[in-house]
Structure 1
Amino acid sequence: MGLITKLFDKRAAPILVAFFVVLFVLEHKRKLRKTTQPLKKRIPTNAIVAIPAFALLRLLFLPLMVKLALKNKDYVFDRQLKIPLILRCVITFLIMDYGNYLWHVINHKIPLLWRFHLVHHTDLDLDTTTAFRFHFGEMIGSVFSRGLFVLLANASAKQVLYYEMLFEAATQFHHSNVKMPISIENLLNKLIVTPSMHGIHHSVNKDETNSNYSVIFSFWDRIHNTFNAKPRQKQIIIGVPEYRNATQMTPKYLLSIPFKKQINLNQ
């Protein structure tokens, strides 16, 4: 899997780390929402929860996605139709991103999947560190969904890795607590998911949580009528109503949530 080392480890990873640092600095200079928890507590918690998921991303998820992509057919049909490479790439990325929209929706609709995705939503604040707070079980489950759309998109191995880079960057960006000028926010939101848009998705209000599922491109929510831009950021309370005890949110507890009796599964 030299391609993963070359494109993801050596190229994408340093860019993603640098992007994280920039967002981390910006969100503490220009806060979109007031924070409620000490950062010195949330960083270790989110980092520890993220370690197993990161390990699976690199050791299981990416190798499997690349293997599936290598089985995809060459673009002979595309060449016969004279489809430009850039258009082919755009179509491939759109199909994979739409797959992630659908995967996100079913994570909220199917109780078994919500058990794992719930861990991400229990963060009582929302910032760049929340972008890594995913249960390893959710990563395992995503293999099946993401793999299906890699095949449906007829993606190449390089496209899989480049899309993953954009996916990770978008996830960092829309989870960040960066306040942008409203004119820029509204302009960007026409195409991609912004911090304000995704902040609504992390609301304790379930009508708001069950909206704004998109990952990179925001128009999937508009197409499916799941777009919500009404609540003001200052009015949003981040988290899950049934999991509001901050002292309970230890890494051990968070990693065990999917395997415990759930307080409420009516997501």
Structure 2
Amino acid sequence: MKIIFPKFDKLGMPLLGLAAATFFIIETKKQLRKRTRPKTERIIENGAVAAVALPALRLLLLPGMYAAARLAQKKNFGLLNWLPLPKWLRYAAGFLLLDYTNYFWHVLLHQSNLLWRFHNIHHMDLDMDLSTAWRFHIGENIFSLPYRSAAAALLGVPGSLVLFYEVIFEGCTAFHHSNIRLPYEAERRLNWVLVTPRMHGIHHSIVARETNSNFSVIFSWWDRLHQSLRLNVPQNEITIGVPAYRDPKEQSPKQLFLLPFTQQRPWHLPDGTVPEREELYPPHHLCP
């Protein structure tokens, strides 16, 4: 299985690094939500989780998706290989469909009790910023391999498109997890196409109805299509995290790694109350 991708490693990775550095600087100067924990502590915790998970993404998930796409192309298998499309349309459709399948994967992460055990590590972060974008349990990356590889094969997307999509996927993930306060009117317009920090911040709320919304990764269209879009929560009213896991002492790298293998707690605060919020605006109204 091929694991060396010169263009991805020599061009894609540096571009992602530059984007991450830019987001890091901007979110320091233009903060969207107030922090509840020291930034350095969280960077260390999230960095330790990422240090285990990211190699699995690069050395297992990416090669697996590429191999599945190449095999489908060789066997003339998959939707886009069966349709008589010009090259540009095949690539454009493939990009959109890859993003659409990732919408469903994200929904599945929330609906499957098994997958949630691992995805919960990402949501347990008590603040949300750039470092949260890489805070994924290695188990989640491993579980995503068969789904995302099968999606690439069934769609019949070119292997080169898989690599290109992954660069954009990772860049957009970093962007919408960042704690950047964009000008409201600019973000309102941008959000008609892309997932933005205000939109994804709602997805990390401790209110269950809000967490189970805004599943899109790159294009916000999928949430609009499936009526899972929720923009009507002011950012200063959002409490980030999972209600049953509010103790910062439970955020150590060791505990985060082991948590999927322990009994999961119900969706309520330590005092037994379930977080709720009155909706004052229509779901599609982007609040500041």
TM-score by length of 1: 0.95
Deviations 1:114-153 (A, max 9, x none): 0000000000000000000000000011011101210122
Contact 1:111 1:265 in 2 (8 A): no
Tell me the amino acid that sits aligned with residue 102 of structure 1: F
**Aligned mates of 2:233, 2:29 — CA distance in 1:** 23
**Structure that is richer in helix per residue:** 1
Question: What corresponds to 2:157 in structure 1?
Answer: 155
Equivalent of residue 197 in structure 1, options 172, 196, 199: 199
Cross-structure match for 2:141: 139
Cα distance in 2 for partners of 1:139, 1:180 equals 30
Q: How does 1:71-150 map to 2 (within 5 A)?
A: 71-73=71-73, 83-150=85-152
Q: 2: distance between equivalents of 1:19 and 1:185?
A: 18
| Aligned CA-pair RMSD | 1.9
Structure 1 59/78 Cα, relative in aligned 2: closer, same or farther at 3 Å?
A: closer
Query: Which residue number corresponds to residue 279 of structure 2?
Result: none
Q: How far apart are 1:8 and its partner, in Å?
A: 1.5
Partner residue in 2 for 1:245: 247
Match of 2:283 in 1: none
| Preserved CA contact (<8 Å) 2:192 2:221 | yes
Task: Kindly provide the CA deviation profile for residues 13-64 of structure 1, in whole angstroms up to 9, marking residues without a partner as x.
Answer: 0000110000000001001111111011000100110112111111111111
Q: Where in structure 1 do 4 or more consecutive aligned residues deviate above 6 Å?
A: 74-81
Shift in Å at residue 219 of structure 1?
0.6
Whether contact under 8 Å (2:99, 2:218) holds in the other structure is yes
Identify which range, 76-85 or 197-206, moves more after superposition: 76-85
Q: Distance in 2 between matches of 1:39 and 1:230?
A: 27
Asked if 1:41 corresponds to 2:21, the answer is no
* Partner SS, residue 211 of structure 1: coil
The residue number in structure 2 matching 1:27 is 27
State the Cα distance separating 1:84 from its structure 2 match.
Answer: 2.9
1:79–1:33: structure 2 CA closer, same or farther, 3 Å change rule? closer
Contact 1:4/1:62 (CA < 8 Å) preserved in 2? Answer: no
Q: Which residue of 1 aligns with 2:224?
A: 222
Match of 1:206 among 208, 220, 231: 208
Q: Distance in 1 between matches of 2:58 and 2:82?
A: 36
Q: 1:216 to 1:80 in 2, by over 3 A?
A: closer
Q: Which one has more relative contact order, counting CA pairs under 8 Å at least 6 apart?
A: 1
